[in-house]
Amino acid sequence: MLTVSHLTYAAGNTLLLQSVDLRLDAGKLHLVIGPNGAGKSTLLKAMGGQIRPSSGTIRYGDKNISAIGYKELARIRASLSQQQELSFPLKVWEVVMMGRYPHVRENPGHKDTRYCREAMQLFHLETLADRDYMSLSGGEKQRVHFARIMAQIWEPIPGACRYLFLDEPLTFLDVHYQFQLMELLKTLLQQPNLLIVGVVHDLNIAARFADNILLLHHGKLIAQGNREQVLTSENIRNVYQLEPVVYEKDDRYFLAF
C-alpha cells in the first residue's frame, strides 16, 4: 500500500501539487490522467522519491519514504521516466542489467543474469540481446527500458510491496504494443504485493485498463475511482473543455469527442 497525505510541491512561486491525498492498494493498476501541466509527472516523481515534496508525507506501507535509504528504495521501487535516452553504445542485455545494479555488490551473479534474461523474454527482446542499443527504434528502446525496470524489482519480497512507476509508458509504442503492454501490466499484477502507477494521456486506455483512475488538474486531485466515477461528462468538460459522448456496451466503456 502507498499513502499520500497533504502532498504539496512548489517550484519557485508555482504550486505544482496542492494538498493531494491518496491511498493506493497493491494488486491494482492505478492510472493518472489530466491535461498538460496538471502535475501528473510531478506526482509520480514525488511518490517514487525522485523529488522531495514541499510538505506532506508519502508512506510505503507503514514506513515514511523519507526514512528509506536510497539503496533500499532502489531495491523495492523502479521508475520509468519520460526521458530514457542513452548517449553511449551498450548492448541491449547490458542496459537491462543496469536494473540489477541496486542488488549487486561487486559483479552480477547467476541470479541477476537469470532475472535479466527472464525480463527480456517478457518483452520479447531475446533476439535483440546483443544488438547495440543505439541502433534500435524508439519502440524497441522503450521495451528495453521496460525490461530494465522490471529486472530491478523482479524478485518478490516476502511480506513487503514492490512499487512500479511509469511516466507515459506508451510513448513510442505503436497501437499493438500499447495494448500488449497494458495487458501485460494487468498480468503482472497477479503477483503478490505489486503496486503499479502510470501516467497516460489516452482516456480510453485508462477507461479500459485502470482499476483506479486519478484525475489531476492544476495540481489538485479532482476525482479518484473507477471509470464511471471519474470519466464523467462533467469532469471531462471541466478539466479538458471537451464535450464527450460516452458509449457503454458489453463491459466496454468508450469516450468520443
Residue 244's pLDDT is: 86
Whether residue 251 has pLDDT greater than 80: no
Instruction: In the chain, count H helices and then E strands.
Output: 9, 12
Q: Which pLDDT tens digit goes with each residue over 156-192? A: 988 899 999 999 999 888 999 999 999 999 999 999 8
Whether residue 105 has pLDDT greater than 90: no
**Cα–Cα distance for residue pair 115/151, rounded to 1 Å:** 6
Domain boundaries, position 12: 2-256
Q: Looking up cell 464535450, which residue turns up?
A: 243
Phi, psi of 135 (to 5 degrees): -90, 0
Percent of the chain with pLDDT over 90: 84
Whether residue 218 has pLDDT greater than 90: yes
Whether residue 254 has pLDDT greater than 80: no
What the block records as the C-alpha cell of 180 is 500488449
Residue 31's domain is classified under what CATH number?
3.40.50.300
Residue 245's pLDDT is: 85
**Cα–Cα distance for residue pair 80/84, rounded to 1 Å:** 8
Confidence of residue 140 (pLDDT cuts 50, 70, 90): very high
How many domains is the chain built from? 1
DSSP 169-217: TTTT--HHHHHHHHHHHHHHTTSTTEEEEEE-S-HHHHHHH-SEEEEEE
